[in-house]
Each structure stands twice: as C-alpha cells, then as structure tokens.
C-alpha cells in the first residue's frame, strides 16, 4: 500500500494515526464484538464518544460554558438557511460580507428569508482582497453579521474579526482548528467537518446560548439549534461513525500540542509554498499579501497550456488533487492540519523541478 499526499480542498486528508485506529477498531470496537457503526446512538459507548468529542473540542478551542456545541448534518450549506431561520427573530434584515464564492452562496440563501445588506464586496477585485472594515457600510438594524473567515475557493482569509455590535456569525468550514480563535468574539461559528474535523457528513455549530429563542415558527426542528441543544445533538440519529472519527481527530490535534502548535506548523507550511510561488515568475498567486489563506493556496502557471502536464506529472509523483476549483482554474493546494510539512516539501520540490524542465 502506498499512501499519497492529498491536497484536496475537501473531503480532505485525515491524520494517518486516526485512520489506523479506525482500521483496528473496524470489526470490534474495544472488545464489544461490534463495529462502532453498528451500535445504537443511544448506547453508552456512542454517547460516551460524543461527550468526549465535545469535551476535547471545548478544550482545544476554549469554548466557554455559555456556548452550546452542536453536532449536526446537512453540511455548512444547510447552515446558510439555519442561520437566518434561527437568528432573525423580529428583524427583517441581516448584514453579510461578500468575499468569495462561499459568501455568495450564504448571501443567496439569506435572501430567501430577509433583506440582505452586503456590507462590503471584493467581487470587483475578483475576490483577491478582504475589504477593510473602515470601508464597510453596516445596515440599520441587522439581526446579525455573517462572514466567511476563510474562502476555500479564492484562498483569501481574514486576519481580524469584524466588530459591529451585533452577533457575528462565521462560516469557519475551512479554517476551524487551524489556529487558536477567541470563541467569545462570535455569536455563532459553524463548519462542515470534511476539512480539519473529520469525514464528510458531520456539521459543527457553536452557538451562544442567549441567541436561542428567536427561531422562526416555520424553522424545521432539524434546523433549530435549540432543539439540537436540548437533545444533546441526538434529536434524530446522528452520523455516529463521523462523530467517532472526529473524536479521534480532536484527540490527535491535542496530541500535536493543540491549536497553537497547529498554527506554528500551518504557518511554516503556507510560508514555504508562498515563498516558492513568489520567488518564481513561472507560478503566481493572485491574492493580496495580507489576505492570503493559511489553508487554501491557489496558484496559476504563467503558461496555462502547461496546466494539464503539471497535473499529470504531479499526480504521477504522488501529489494528488492539485487542480484548481472549476470557477478559478489553475491549481490549488489545500494545506489542512493533516497535510504534513513533508508533503508540502515534496510539492515545492516538484514545482521547482517542473519549472526547470518547462520554463
């Protein structure tokens, strides 16, 4: 068996030690004679795993007691609707920052439920910048402000948290657990799991409990955060196997030294790749320096006729999933937590060698 280096934007690389534990547990979880997948979600074993996952996550992110941790389904995309359905209350509008393709999707969904005030948009710079908050136009009486701290497709990332006096709602799908955050800065944090948390099929929502109680009467029970909290994320059958893997991933992150240690390695990885791109006229990254993402690094080749060859040869060299998003073209390397520094070194070495042969 040869494991390859996986730069996929999601579902993404998982830590190898986690996959090894899952393999060893597959047929008989801890002497129970059952696979974890075959157990009732209400069994003490599964309830214990979910409690442990929550506890470890609370430790990693420093989540205060006044925040509920919810493990849901439907992906981050379902939260695009759940956010307005839970938070609008009697307000008719919400603020949204538009910094890329995922912001746009959240905005489109928000518009079904309320007047969306776009506080700022970087669409005219092709989403290569983050507009400074001093240039934002805040709405009159918005229920909340929604933004996307890291845009997975464009590779732009906020290095600051907006301050607006209303609850801040952050789609952290592609940045969560990559570095420490101050949970207290946010009203709601949500994330699809399939980047830094675990496999697809699980969605994390962290919500300040005082925001409960405003859900729209038509909000489905399955999208109602308070219902999920009141039922310990077991209003219906949760994705038990994804939760088990997420629990293992959280423990792995803790073993690595937690989020500060993760950040140190992630910064080094990103810096190595950006340096390799910036030093060459063969490769380019279009994102303004101060808005560059730690996790998702798009880059183009000066001669796009070489794209196909680059992808063929990188794949043959064991470097997988470097094709850029279809809306952007070129290449993209996602450097989530489970992508090792060795993988990034191998990518950089390949890029330099490819350039020498083709420049």
CB atoms closer than 10 angstroms to residue 133: 16
Q: For the CB of residue 142, give the shortest distance to ligand PMP in the complex, in Å.
A: 20
CB atoms closer than 10 angstroms to residue 86: 26
Q: For the CB of residue 212, give the shortest distance to ligand PMP in the complex, in Å.
A: 23
195 is catalytic: yes
Q: How far is Cα 174 from Cα 333, in angstroms, rounded to an integer?
A: 13
Q: One of 91, 95, 102, 225 is an active-site residue; which one?
A: 102
Nearest to 86 by CA among 70, 99, 98: 70
Chain residues in the site for ligand PMP (CB under 6 A): 10, 75-77, 102, 148, 152, 171, 173-174, 192
Q: For the CB of residue 148, give the shortest distance to ligand PMP in the complex, in Å.
A: 5
- C-alpha distances in Å from residue 317, one per residue of 296, 312, 334, 358: 21, 9, 17, 16
Distance from the Cα of residue 312 to its chain's centroid: 28
Q: One of 29, 95, 104, 195 is an active-site residue; which one?
A: 195
102 is catalytic: yes
Q: For the CB of residue 113, give the shortest distance to ligand PMP in the complex, in Å.
A: 18
Q: Which residue lies nearer to ligand PMP by CB, 143 or 172?
A: 172
Q: Which residue lies nearer to ligand PMP by CB, 43 or 129?
A: 129
Q: One of 91, 95, 104, 171 is an active-site residue; which one?
A: 171
Q: Which residue lies nearer to ligand PMP by CB, 200 or 234?
A: 200
Q: Which residue lies nearer to ligand PMP by CB, 39 or 156?
A: 156
What residue ranges in 73-185 does DSSP mark as E strands?
A: 93-98, 115-121, 145-147, 150-151, 156-157, 168-171
95 is catalytic: no
Establish whether the linkage from the previous residue to 176 is cis, with ω within 30° of 0. no
| Catalytically active residues, by annotation | 102, 171, 195
């Amino acid at each position: 068996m040869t494991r390859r280096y996986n730069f996929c934007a999601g579902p993404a690389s998982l830590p190898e030690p986690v996959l090894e534990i899952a393999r060893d547990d597959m047929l008989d979880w801890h002497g129970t004679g059952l696979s974890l997948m075959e157990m009732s979600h209400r069994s003490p074993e599964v309830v214990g795993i979910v409690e442990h996952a929550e506890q470890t996550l609370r430790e990693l992110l420093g989540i205060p007691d006044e925040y509920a941790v919810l493990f849901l389904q439907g992906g981050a995309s379902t939260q695009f609707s759940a956010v307005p359905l839970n938070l609008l209350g009697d307000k008719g509008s919400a603020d949204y920052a538009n910094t890329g393709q995922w912001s746009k999707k959240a905005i489109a969904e928000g518009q079904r439920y309320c007047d969306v005030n776009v506080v700022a948009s970087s669409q005219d710079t092709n989403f290569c910048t983050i507009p400074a908050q001093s240039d934002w136009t805040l709405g009159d009486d918005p229920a909340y402000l929604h933004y996307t701290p890291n845009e997975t497709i464009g590779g732009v990332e906020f290095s600051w948290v907006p301050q607006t006096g209303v609850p801040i709602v952050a789609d952290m799908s592609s940045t969560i657990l990559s570095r420490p955050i101050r949970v207290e800065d946010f009203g709601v944090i949500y994330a699809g799991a399939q980047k830094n948390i675990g496999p697809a099929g699980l969605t994390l929502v962290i919500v300040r409990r005082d925001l409960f109680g405003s859900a729209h009467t038509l909000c489905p029970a399955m999208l109602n955060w308070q219902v999920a909290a009141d039922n310990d994320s077991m209003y219906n059958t949760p994705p038990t196997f994804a939760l088990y893997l997420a629990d293992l991933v959280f423990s792995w992150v803790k073993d690595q030294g937690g989020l500060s240690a993760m950040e140190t390695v992630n910064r080094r990885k990103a810096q190595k790749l950006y340096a390799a791109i910036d030093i060459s006229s063969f490769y380019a990254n279009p994102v303004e320096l101060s808005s560059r993402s730690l996790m998702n690094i798009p880059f183009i080749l000066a001669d796009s006729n070489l794209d196909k060859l680059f992808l063929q040869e990188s794949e043959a060299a064991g470097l997988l999933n470097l094709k850029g998003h279809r809306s952007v073209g070129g290449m993209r390397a996602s450097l989530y937590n489970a992508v090792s520094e060795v993988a990034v070194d191998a990518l950089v070495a390949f890029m330099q060698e490819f350039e020498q042969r083709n420049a």
